[in-house]
Amino acid sequence: MSFPLVDLNAEMASEPIRKGFGRGLKVAGEQNQNVVALCADLTESTQMHLFREAFPERFVEIGIAEQNLVTVASGLASQGKIPFCSSYAAFSPGRNWEQIRTTICLNEQPVKIIGSHAGLSVGPDGATHQMLEDLALMRVLPNMVVLAPCDSLEAERATLALAVDPRPGYMRLAREASPIITTIDSPFEIGVGYVLSEGHDVTIVATGTMTYHALRAAEELYKEGISAEVLHYPTIKPFDRDTLIYSVRKTGCVVSCEEAQINGGLGGIVAETISEETPVPLVRIGVRDQFGQSGTPDQLFEHYGITSKHIALAAHSAIEKKRVNL
C-alpha cells in the first residue's frame, strides 16, 4: 500500500501531536455518545478541554489521582461507555500499572489510556517527567493495543480508531511541536506497519516522533549512495511482524528508532521478531538503560544519540555488520 507523505524539502507545518488527539476525541464524542473522557488535572495540557467544552456531562475531572483515573474508567466501561483517560505518561501508565492490568486488561474493558508528554522531548521538566518506559510497560499486557503516532494528523486518526476498537488501548503523545509528515490521504489502521520509502540496503523501522528523523536519515544515506527502506510503526502492539520480516529479508539488516527505552520498547520487539524469524544484524536507536535530564529537546536527542545523524551512522554500522557476517 502506498503511503502519501508531505514533501520533506518544502516548508513543513508542525504541531504538538497531542493537539490531534484533542480534535480526534471531540469528533469521536460527536460520532458516539458512549464516548466519555476523564482527566487527572491536566485537561488543557492533554487537549481534553475540547471534549469537555463540547460534552461537559460526559467529562469527569478526577483530580491528581491516576489510580482512580483508570479504575473509574474501568467501571464506566463495564456499563458500555468508551472511556478515554488522559494524564502525563509518567503518571499514567507510570503509576497505575497494576490497576490497568487487573481492572482493564484482565477484565477486558475497552478503556483508552492516553499518555501525553512522553519521551525525552518534554525537555526542561527533566527525568521525572520524561516517560521512556511506557511502551515496555504496556506491550507486555495481554489484550492491550499500544499506539505511538508520528504527528498530530495521525494522532487524530489513531484516536478515532481507538474509539471504535473493542480492546483496551494505550496511546503515547508528545508535548513539543512535531513536523506533520502524513497527509489527509495517509492510511491508518491499528496493527499495520507502513513502508514509507522502499530500499534494499538497510531497513530503518521507527515509531512515534522518530519516524520523521528516520526519513531525514534515509535522505542523508541516499546522498551517500545507500538505499534505506523506511518503515513506520504507529502500532507497537499488535505488532505487524510480516511487514518487518518481508523488509528485513530483502535488506538483510535493520535499525530500530524510538524515543523510549530500547529495552522492551520497539528495539526489544524488533530484536524478538527478527531473531525468531530471520536473524540479521540489528542496531537499536533509543535510550539505553538510562534516565533523561533537563535540556532542550535538541540537546537531549544529541546527548542520548537519537538524531537523524545517529540513525544514519547506525545504518552504516548495521550494513557493516552484514558484511562481517558473510
Partner 1 sequence: MSYTINELELKAADIRASIIKSLEEAGSGHSAGPLGLADIFTALYFDVLKHDPKNPDWDQRDILILSNGHCVPVRYAAMAHAGYFDVDELMTLRRFGSRLQGHPERLKLPGMESTSGPLGCGLSQSCGIALSFRMNNENHRFVYCVMGDGELDEGNVWEAAMLAGKEKLHNIIAIIDRNNIQIDGPTETVMPLEDLQAKWEAFGWHVLSIDGNNIEAVIDACAMAKAIVEKPVMIIAHTIPGKGVDFMEYDFHWHGMPPNHEQAKIALHDIRTLKGKIRSEHQ
Instruction: Give the list of residues 6+ apart from residue 10 with CB closer than 8 angstroms, or none.
Output: none
> Least distance in Å: CB of 113 to partner 1?
14
Query: Closest CB to partner 1 among 9 and 79?
Result: 79
Among 43, 46, 47, 67, binds partner 1 (CB under 8 A): 67
Confirm or reject binding of residue 68 to partner 1 (CB under 8 A).
yes
> Least distance in Å: CB of 93 to partner 1?
15
Stretch that binds partner 1, among 17-25, 73-81, 221-229, 254-262 (CB under 8 A): 73-81
SS3 201: coil
Question: What are residue 88's DSSP bridge partners?
Answer: 116
Which triple of cell numbers denotes residue 11? Answer: 516548508
Task: State how far the Cα of 300 lies from the Cα of 66, in Å rounded to an integer.
Answer: 28
Stretch that binds partner 1, among 99-107, 188-196, 271-279, 302-310 (CB under 8 A): 99-107
DSSP type of residue 265: S
DSSP type of residue 176: S
Instruction: Give the list of residues 6+ apart from residue 77 with CB closer than 8 angstroms, or none.
Output: 83, 104, 109, 110, 111
Confirm or reject binding of residue 71 to partner 1 (CB under 8 A).
yes
Confirm or reject binding of residue 72 to partner 1 (CB under 8 A).
yes
66 labelled catalytic: yes
The site for partner 1, by CB under 8 A, has a size of: 28
User: Considering 44, 61, 66, 224, which one is annotated as catalytic?
Assistant: 66
Residue type, 285: I
Report the site for partner 1 in 100-119 (rule: CB under 8 A): 102-103, 106-108
> Least distance in Å: CB of 292 to partner 1?
27
Confirm or reject binding of residue 83 to partner 1 (CB under 8 A).
yes
Strands (E), the chain: 14-16, 35-39, 59-61, 82-88, 112-116, 145-147, 169-172, 177-179, 194-197, 202-206, 228-232, 235-237, 254-261, 282-287
Report the site for partner 1 in 132-161 (rule: CB under 8 A): none
- Catalytic residues, which ones? 66
Q: Which spans of this chain sit near partner 1 (rule: CB under 8 A)?
A: 36, 57-58, 60, 62-63, 65, 67-68, 71-81, 83, 98-99, 102-103, 106-108
